[in-house]
Amino acid sequence: MYKIKKAEKLTGPNYLMVVEAPRIAKHCLPGQFIIAKEDEKGERIPLTICDYDREEGTITIVFQPIGASTEKFTRLKAGDSFRDFVGPLGKPSELCTDDLEEVKKKKILFVAGGVGAAPVYPQVKWLHEHGIEADVIIGGRTKELILLEDEMKAVAGNVYITTDDGSYGRTGVVTKVIEDLVQNEGKSYDLCVAIGPMIMMKFTCMTTKKLNIPTVVSMNPIMVDGTGMCGACRLTVGDEVKFACVDGPEFDGHLIDFDAAMKRQMMYKTEEGRALLKVREGDTHHGGCGNCGGDE
């Protein structure tokens, strides 16, 4: 059993939990994820590691309820436990494993869409701890969907907030901000890391391709085991079939077939999940970042 030390509702539909998992906390690096299973009958749900405390032996996760299982998670309180909590899974972000001197030479832009701010945060924090200040764009459809603003500001270089409806920060979708920064505000970047709903990552990649900025994305296909034994998470990257849980979840965004990946992700959407998505339209599968592409 893995005890929940803190359970908190964030703004918008999002939740944060701090979970006791010493083995994971000791070994994880930014970019990796865990799989949580609530009880005996629950399913295995992948969630990115948003923060970790090696001394306390804890992992922080941030999630957005979009279907039956994540909805069930929202009812858990501090003191309750996950029956199963396994990780760290996937490869760490290359920024944390590549030669530090090389990474230091790069100007890096992070793009966080909606709940994607959670997986972006540990990478920016890690860079900050190693003397690198990266820029971050945080996008949301509306003000209450902007996550981790203060935390991000404490560790990033420049933080640009944008909302579709202009209720906070700049107005417009994240891709517009990228274009503004590069084309109108004299910024240049050697690398972009985009994390959020697939549709937002797709449009970000289209923009960065035009601007000639290499781009890394964190893919979130359906997973079962998360250890490479089933292939549920397979994706086409370039000409190759890759398993996101072991070969990723981060990949070269300019090589991903997003349309195919999005269709695969929809395979098991429950009726409830779909209904919920519809009600919250934009917050999840095509939003968070802003309506950067609308319904496909």
Partner 1 sequence: MADVLKKVPVREQAPKVRAANFEEVCLGYNKEEAMEEAARCINCKNAKCVGGCPVSINIPAFIHEVKEGNIEEAYKIISESSALPAICGRVCPQESQCEGKCIRGIKGEPVSIGKLERFVADWARENGIKPPAPAAANGRKVAVIGSGPAGLTCAGDLAKLGYDVTIFEALHEPGGVLVYGIPEFRLPKNKVVAAEVENVKSLGVKIETNVIIGKSTTIDELLNDEGFEAVFIGSGAGLPMFMGIPGENANGVFSANEYLTRNNLMKAFLDDYDTPIARGKKVAVVGGGNVAMDAARTALRLGAEVHIVYRRSEAELPARVEEVHHAKEEGVIMDLLTNPVEILVDENDAVKGMKCVRMELGEPDASGRRRPVEIPGSEFEMELDTVIMSLGTSPNPLISSTTIGLDINKRKCIIADEETGKTSKEGVYAGGDAVTGAATVILAMGAGKAAAKGIHEFLSDKK
Ligand X SMILES: Cc1cc2nc3c(=O)[nH]c(=O)nc-3n(C[C@H](O)[C@H](O)[C@H](O)COP(=O)(O)OP(=O)(O)OC[C@H]3O[C@@H](n4cnc5c(N)ncnc54)[C@H](O)[C@@H]3O)c2cc1C
Tell the smallest beta-carbon distance from residue 277 to ligand X (Å).
8
Beta partners for residue 162, in sequence order: 139, 170
Which is nearer to partner 1, 143 or 234 (by Cβ)?
234
Tell whether 64 is in a known binding site: yes
Positive or negative: CA dihedral 181, 185, 187, 188: positive
- Residues 141, 176, 202, 264: which binds partner 1 (CB under 8 A)? 264
Which among 105, 44, 95 has a CA at the least distance from the CA of 230?
Answer: 44
**Strand (E) or helix (H) holding 59:** strand 58-63
Tell the smallest beta-carbon distance from residue 134 to ligand X (Å).
19
Which is nearer to partner 1, 6 or 26 (by Cβ)?
26
Q: What is the DSSP string of 122-173?
A: HHHHHHHHTT---EEEEEESSGGG--SHHHHHHH-S-EEEEETTSSSSEES-
Angle value at C-alpha 137, between 136 and 139, nearest 5 degrees: 145
Sole residue written with tokens 């959020």:
196
Tell the smallest beta-carbon distance from residue 83 to ligand X (Å).
16
Tell the smallest beta-carbon distance from residue 227 to partner 1 (Å).
5
Write down the number of H helices and E strands in the chain.
10, 17
Q: Does 234 bind partner 1 (CB under 8 A)?
A: yes
Tell the smallest beta-carbon distance from residue 137 to ligand FES (Å).
29
Q: Does 76 bind ligand X (CB under 6 A)?
A: no
Under 8 Å between Cβ of 24 and 88: yes
Tell whether 245 is in a known binding site: yes
Which is nearer to partner 1, 37 or 128 (by Cβ)?
37
By CB under 6 A, the residues from 83 to 102 that bind ligand X are none
Q: Which residues bind ligand X (CB under 6 A)?
A: 33, 43, 45-48, 62-64, 66-71, 115, 118-119, 220-223, 249, 265, 268-270, 273
Q: Binding site for FAD: what residues are annotated?
A: 62-64
Q: Binding site for [2Fe-2S] cluster: what residues are annotated?
A: 230, 233, 245
